[in-house]
Amino acid sequence: MSRRLLCAALFAAGFGLAAHAEEPLPSVEQVMSEHKEKINNQIETINYNRKRVVGANMGLDSQQAETFWPIYALYRNEMDGLNRETFQLLFEYGRAYGSGVVTNEDASKDGLK
């Protein structure tokens, strides 16, 4: 997932939630499910473009490609999982920050460092 996309989504969510602090904040699961299709489409587009750039710059022959692409797919799957976890942590932090309930102790926890 593009770090720019992640940062933009986080800031947009954080500012949007901060503006409506009086209203009950939606859970991370609610927000993710509401925007799941859009998020997945953007991730697929980014991954497709990333794979095209890697393929164009690697110059692999068929034997090398046969070995490389499965390893690349495993790597990207792991990275996508880590990026989703990071996005969720950042969203949770933005949500908590927007509601004004983040203490220094909360911010210093492992998940919010």
90's tokens: 């950042």
Total number of domains constituting the chain: 1
22-27-30-31 Cα dihedral, nearest 10 degrees: 70
> Is the pTM of the predicted complex or chain greater than 0.75?
no
Residue 113's pLDDT is what?
47
Residues of the chain with pLDDT under 70: 1-23, 28, 106, 109-113
Residue 17's pLDDT is what?
54
- What's the rounded Cα separation, in Å, for the pair 113 and 107? 6
Residue 33's pLDDT is what?
81
- Residue 103 domain boundaries: 3-112
